[in-house]
Amino acid sequence: MEEVQASFSYKAHVLVLPFHGQGHMNPMLQFSKRLASKGIKITLAATLSATKNMPPQVGSISLEPIYDDLTHGGLDGADGLKGFIDRFQEIGSRNLRDLITKSQSSKYPIKCLVYDANLPWSLDVALGLGIMGAGFFTQSCATIATYVDMIEENSLESKKPLRSLEELGLVNMPDMGSSTGRYPSLMSFLLGHFDNIDKADWVLFNSFDKLEEEVVKNLMKLYEVRTIGPTLPSMYLDKRIEDDKDYGFNLYQSTGDTCINWLSTKERGSVVYVSFGSAARLSAEQMEEVAWALNESDANFLWVVRTSEENKLPSSFKEQISEKGLMVTWSPQLEVLSHEAVGCFVTHCGWNSTVEGVSLGVPMVAMPQFLDQFSDAKFVEEVWEIGVRPKGDDSTGLVSRKTIAECIKQVIQGERGEKIKRNASKWKQLARVALEEGGTSDRNIEEIVAKIVSN
């Protein structure tokens, strides 16, 4: 009998290009795994510092450094974001062109580029070489809707409550306008994402339809919007993907099992997890208020303070915390949020952290610091009703220790806390359903894969 050689073949080859930043790499890696689970070969192209600790091939995902930020300078170079973006564009676009061109004569030519919306030039490279392009926003649909408003009004600092959200009967967002006005160069960079986005085959969001229903419908009138989230590993949601390993695609050193071992000594729902993400820098005054709020509260706490921020802690603080508190420089956030000991998430409301809190059903205390974090916080408190936002001082914005402690108490205990917990469970369930077979995000991913394959 003739022996049949089992041979696996991919349906198509997709190139994924995240921006350099934990809040960008995480969702795009997870989306890559989703595509890979549907038979797609993935090449993940990122900065050298993001890829250097990873094996060149993990499952059906190959890693390709696209820009050597160690030699040519990274985000924290003297010329800041602008210098980094310009160099990345100049060198990255050459490398991207080479990568796509080289693949054309291989068994699996690249058929589509999924690019981070922070790198709009890469869409031009892809379209110029005749392949498809999908923009990936790492912020919410609501945030993107507000940027579209700003472009229409030709104003970086919209004085009016932003139309797209107010018209929809959602929230009035004066904060958003005032925050964006504080960062004019960052805003013009963000608004530059829209210069060519109408040429993209799809505009993808780490969100799900129910989470931002009206906004998604509205944005669909402008772009081929598809929600493909939440982009947490499948093991936290639908559990349909076996390849759920942590690939170590991290810019920060993880603190290993320290957090989980410590959490395991604490009672269910008794721990407040505090993290302000990878970029926010609190003032020393604000750090002090958070520190004493945590120390004086009845709850246990696990607080992530990045190494670069540690000098802002009150001098005697670390010595004073008893076994009720643990401080780390980086945590395995998903493992932490999904631990039964965690009952509250004090967060800066970066979009990834917000989606992670929603998907894992953790009530939040929302302390936004800049840009989209304000609109995310509004949704947490007013639309999904899964948390509270402590009010800061009218002129300085400083949130006092008393206010923070009261908000934590409200979330963990009492009548409002019960309602918040019920809502958090509801949203957790809806997040899972979106990715289950036939769920809105699952259908969108299937549609994208089918179109790439047939193209």
CB of 190 to ligand UDX, least distance (A): 11
Specify whether the CB–CB gap between 156 and 184 falls below 8 A.
Answer: yes
Task: Kindly state the smallest distance separating residue 379's Cβ from ligand UDX, in Å.
Answer: 12
Q: Between residues 373 and 441, which has the closer beta carbon with respect to ligand UDX?
A: 373
Name the residue nearer to ligand UDX (CB basis): 246 or 296.
Answer: 246
Give least dist CB 351 to ligand UDX, A.
Answer: 3
CB of 429: closest distance to ligand UDX in angstroms?
21
In angstroms, give the least distance from the CB of 246 to ligand UDX. 10
Q: Which is nearer to ligand UDX, 103 or 275 (CB)?
A: 275
Q: How far is the CB of 98 from ligand UDX (least distance, A)?
A: 28
**Nearer to ligand UDX among residue 350 and residue 439 (C-beta):** 350
Nearer to ligand UDX, 138 or 146 (CB): 138
Report, in Å, the least distance between residue 139 CB and ligand UDX. Answer: 5
Residue with tokens 């985000």: 75
> Given the complex with ligand UDX, which of 123 and 328 has the nearer CB atom?
328
Alpha carbon separation from 221 to 143, 151, 198, 217, 362 (Å, rounded): 16, 16, 11, 7, 33
> What residue number has its CB nearest to ligand UDX?
350
CB-nearer residue toward ligand UDX: 103 or 347: 347
The Cα–Cα gap between 112 and 443 comes to 19
CA dihedral 264, 267, 268, 269 (to 10 degrees): -110
Give the shortest CB-415-to-ligand UDX separation in angstroms. 29
Binding residues for ligand UDX, rule: CB under 6 A, are: 21-23, 26, 138-139, 275, 277-280, 304, 330-331, 333-334, 350-353, 356, 371-373
Q: For the chain, how long is the longest CA-to-CA vector?
A: 83
CB of 347 to ligand UDX, least distance (A): 7
CB 34 within 8 A of CB 61: no
Nearest to ligand UDX of 60, 275 (CB atom): 275
Alpha-carbon distances of 211 from 39, 138, 228, 306, 441, rounded to whole Å: 28, 15, 12, 30, 11
* Cα separation, 377 vs 325, whole angstroms: 25
Q: Tell me the two tokens of residue 218.
A: 């509205």
Helix (H/G/I), strand (E/B), else coil: 10: coil
Of 118, 98, 139, nearest in space to 15 by CA: 98
Query: CB of 22 within 8 A of CB of 30?
Result: no
- Residue 126: closest CA among 146, 157, 103: 103
The values of phi and psi at residue 221, to 5°, are: -70, -25
CB of 199 to ligand UDX, least distance (A): 24
Strand, helix or coil at 433?
helix
Pick between residue 20 and residue 87 the one whose CB is nearest to ligand UDX. Answer: 20
Q: What is the DSSP string of 110-164?
A: EEEEEEETT-THHHHHHHHTT-EEEEEESS-HHHHHHHHHHHHHT-SS--SPPHH
The residue (of 262 and 351) whose beta carbon lies closer to ligand UDX is 351
Query: 94 in helix, strand or coil?
Result: helix
If the CB atoms of residues 60 and 373 are measured against ligand UDX, the closer one turns out to be 373
Phi, psi for 428 (deg, rounded to 5): -60, -45
**Cβ atoms 283, 311 nearer than 8 A:** no
Q: How far is the CB of 34 from ligand UDX (least distance, A)?
A: 16
Q: In this complex, which beta carbon is closest to ligand UDX, that of residue 80 or of residue 414?
A: 80
Q: How far is CA 171 from CA 20, 88, 252, in A?
A: 31, 37, 35
Distance in Å, CB of 370 to ligand UDX, minimum: 7
Percent helix, strand and coil across the chain, each rounded to 5? Answer: 45, 15, 40
Q: Tell me the pairing of strands 57-58 and 61-67.
A: antiparallel
